[in-house]
Structure 1
Amino acid sequence: MAKVKFVPTEAAKESYEGAYLVTGFMGFGFVGALSTEYLVEKLDMVKVGFFITKYTPDQVSYSEKYSLELPFELYYHEKSNLLVLLNRWIPHEVEKFRYAQFVVKWAKKNGVKAIYGLGGLDSSFKEEPSETLRWVKTSYYNGPLPQAKPMVGGLKVIGPLAHLLIASEIEKFPMLALLPYCESASRQDPRASAIGITELAKLIKLEVDVSDLFAKAENMEKEMEKLKKILEMSVSKKDSYYI
């Protein structure tokens, strides 16, 4: 078996000339995974294939709409000529870069115009309270850029998204990563995902409604506030026993 390969579905096209490829991973704030999953569902995308690696993660999920869901699946939206690589898991440690390089080479071979990555950035690195995101690109990306500053000097992109940037630079391929600020590394941040998708939509002229993500963020914030008050009351009652 090849170390990494692409397996098309019956809905696959022979070429994706001029398409944009969007992807992300389960990183900071789960922005990449949440954003790509949202795009697939909101745009009602069609599954056109999946990537298989030598050490494919031993996990699958199931949905009535898409049936069996594999770790690394590729979806396509014909109207917008958009591809979304949905990474439901992170590649095995020994093949992270091999996976990234294969994806970039596949994109080049199939006429993809550019890769856009989505990830999260710790909000503690904000220089101004009004900032919403930063970005980083390869030397070969000459497309439109967000009206935001690039990545703060000295900070590093880490994980699978970094491997994708490295592979794109080596293969002389255009890639731009959008990194909206997140409040937490270990908790989903739908607001950051909404911000990332909104910026992406501006750059590639994509029509997508992100109101569901903002609503989810507001509900999560309300629940967190309730939990905070409950904990404060609990501590207050406990202290009263010692008056």
Structure 2
Amino acid sequence: MEMNFSQHISGQFNTDLEAIRSHMMAMGGLVERQVANAIEAITSGDTSPADEIIRREDDVDRMEVAIDRECTQILVRRQPAASDLRMVLAVSRVVRDLERIGDEAQKIAFHALEIGGSANSGFCQQAIRYMGAEVCKMISGALDAFARHDVDGAIDVVRHDKLVDQQYSAALRELITYMMEDPRSIGQAINILWILRAIERIGDHARNISEQVIYVVSGADVRHSSLTEMEERAHPDNAAED
């Protein structure tokens, strides 16, 4: 009887862990769609999805609260250790980043409505399309890496974050040039500035999610680490061979 009881407890624990992971992935799917729709709204000029994006942010917030509550209950009831503890902590951190990505998507939607069909809304469209496509791939890649415990996939997301940062810097220079040449464009340019900033922040949060993949798999806390340091800590055996 004791063995069956232990197996029941272990089985239920695994079910609990799989549940929070599954709920996190569902939240990630919603957030990814929110970002893709927000980018489409600003680049296509069709702002009709913007209201839906803004409304669904409440769903994102509710999912964060619910998953975080599940994580807390697991910590209190199961008192997990080692890799199980890392998984629960990582999920709690990831949903926080997903909620913030949802916030940034909502900001983009608000600015899309603000700009509307303005003649100056074409500012930095190429940069917005490129950065938007990149951060959508980063979110998808980070979630996929988490699901598969793929450290190399997580590191690849971090590499893409550097590309997004570079494009962001270039777009800022372009915006400054616009504003200097035509002061009348400043109002719309500021809206575009906030959109670019929101997209750049989404990339940062996708990077944070990838860092949690490395934490779950290797136990290494690579937050605030350079890409090189991250690679070394994610693959300590390779570093030792070098």
Question: Which structure shows the higher strand fraction?
Answer: 1
TM-score, normalised with respect to structure 1 = 0.26
What is the TM-score when the length of structure 2 is the normalising length? 0.26
Query: Quick check: which has more Rg, 1 or 2?
Result: 2
